[in-house]
Amino acid sequence: MISHTFAHTGPLKGTIRVPGDKSISHRSLMFAGLAVGESRITGLLEGEDVLATAAAMRAFGAQIERSADGIWTVYGAGVGSLLEPKQALDMGNSGTSTRLLMGLVASHAITATFIGDASLSGRPMKRVIDPLTQMGASIEASAGGTLPLMLRGAAPAVPITYRLPVASAQVKSAVLLAGLNTPGITRVIEPVPTRDHTERMLTGFGATVEVGEENGEKIIAIHCEADLMPCDVVVPGDPSSAAFFMVAASIVPGSDLTIMNVGLNPTRAGLLHVLRQMGADIKEVNPREVGGEPVADLRVRYAPLSGIDVDPAIAPAMIDEFPVLFVAAAIASGTTRTSGLDELRVKESDRLAAMAAALTAAGAQVEEHEDGLSIHGTGGEPLRGTANARVKSLLDHRIAMSMAVAGLVSTGGVEVDDISPINTSFPTFMGLLAEATA
């Protein structure tokens, strides 16, 4: 464990560039690893989660190399031609890697065992196990439907039409990836929209994907394809990583920070919308499109924030950003209320309980409810917890980084008990924070 104390060091200034989008990085390695031929990936996030995906795709037969200039070259194994891994696939802390790769294996005649760290091994996999079992895969999981688990793929798998019981881009993606090597058409019905990188990127790699709507619900259909085509991918900056700096610059007086090359996919831009509702001063500079994804530079200046009732319908578009939004709410004027956030209880940690405890220790007024938090803000005053208030990250990178931001607006500083989990998603976080506050 590596503890660190974060304290007020002055406004955030200058220009920073956050690492590549984690969701797109995972998928670019997977889809390039399934394509026949050479793909090149620029801007890949080189955090531990994405490297777990790279290691797994190598185990399935893809050739993946990183050059000195940071460009990754992938020679794919081909849909239908995955090799059986010689040993268990260690997913570390990555739920995305696990659930999407389970979908890949489900329609191939191979067996794979998935293992992970203590945090990942407590996360629910039944939501993926259910549809993949319907498609013919055989899955033996640990008690409670968790890792470690062994998955035997079906060949041929059975196409299904699956209605998502929870809003989850990972479950949707797992079913669609299984559908890549399943005869016929596999469909997913999505009552609540979730991030759509899988649909956009599979289309870019040459898959036949149809997106329609029926009775107000989104329907995504994927046709069985023999081959994906290689593709060069430029990964935009991760909006979930930019979120910590968007909030920090919004709540630290005097800040004027530009965050370059941020992906603004509408299914991921919920935090931007909510912060603006609260009064944040965030401008999109040089908006453009890169590889089918909207991108812009974000100029964020300090502005007094006001508490709001957050519409639960926006949750899927910012599910990973709520921990740092709670920090913004703690400094706003009035009360911010959130609801419909049951999903946060089954992330890397129970993020509702973890953030309620951490913010309370830092001096915030927080009420925890079954599906959300109510936070009574300070009206712009710094948090007045005990000196060097010690908070638990619970092996959760987003809790650690959110409380780092809280430390910037506290009178006594905030000590995060373990910052090492930050490397799973944002290995340059500490350096960028030091650069922006220098």
Question: Residue 198's pLDDT is what?
Answer: 95
Each residue's pLDDT tens digit, 330-342: 999 999 999 999 9
Question: Residue 392's pLDDT is what?
Answer: 95
Q: How large a percentage of the chain has pLDDT more than 90?
A: 94
Question: Residue 226's pLDDT is what?
Answer: 67
CATH code of the domain made up of 4-19+236-437: 3.65.10.10
Report how far apart, in Å, the C-alpha atoms of 397 and of each of 131, 159, 234, 244 are: 29, 37, 25, 12
Residue 86 is assigned to a ligand binding site = no
Each residue's pLDDT tens digit, 344-392: 998 989 999 999 999 999 999 999 999 999 999 999 999 998 888 899 9
d(CA 336, CA 144) in angstroms, rounded, equals 34
β pairing state of 138-142 and 146-152: antiparallel
Residue 365 is assigned to a ligand binding site = no
- Average pLDDT of the chain is 96
Q: What is the mean pLDDT of residues 152-171?
A: 96
* Backbone phi, psi, residue 412, to 5°: -110, 0
Kindly state the tokens that stand for 303. 């502005």
Kindly state the tokens that stand for 34. 């399934």
Q: How large a percentage of the chain has pLDDT more than 70?
A: 100
> Tokens 């020679």 — which residue?
75
DSSP 113: E
Each residue's pLDDT tens digit, 103-139: 999 999 999 999 999 999 999 999 999 999 999 999 9
Q: Extract the runs of DSSP E, i.e. beta strands, from 7-99.
A: 13-17, 38-42, 63-66, 72-75, 89-90
Whether residue 311 lies in the annotated active site = no
Task: With a cut of 90, say whether residue 292 has pLDDT above it.
Answer: no
**pLDDT tier at 293 (50, 70, 90 boundaries)?**
confident
d(CA 71, CA 234) in angstroms, rounded, equals 10
Where along the chain do its domains lie? 4-19+236-437, 22-222
Residue 384 is assigned to a ligand binding site = no
Q: Which CATH superfamily is domain 22-222 in?
A: Enolpyruvate transferase domain (3.65.10.10)
Neighbours of 298 (CB within 10 A): 23
Residue 292 is assigned to a ligand binding site = no
What pTM was computed for the model?
Answer: 0.86
* Catalytic residue selected from 311, 320, 371, 417: 320
d(CA 272, CA 401) in angstroms, rounded, equals 18
User: CA-based Rg of the chain, rounded to a whole angstrom?
Assistant: 21
Residue 23 is assigned to a ligand binding site = yes
Each residue's pLDDT tens digit, 314-334: 998 999 999 999 999 999 999
d(CA 362, CA 382) in angstroms, rounded, equals 10
Cis-peptide, bond into residue 148, ω within 30° of zero = yes
Residue 27 is assigned to a ligand binding site = yes
Residue 170 is assigned to a ligand binding site = yes
Residue 126 is assigned to a ligand binding site = no
Task: With a cut of 70, say whether residue 33 has pLDDT above it.
Answer: yes
Closest of 11, 44, 16 to residue 297, by C-alpha: 16
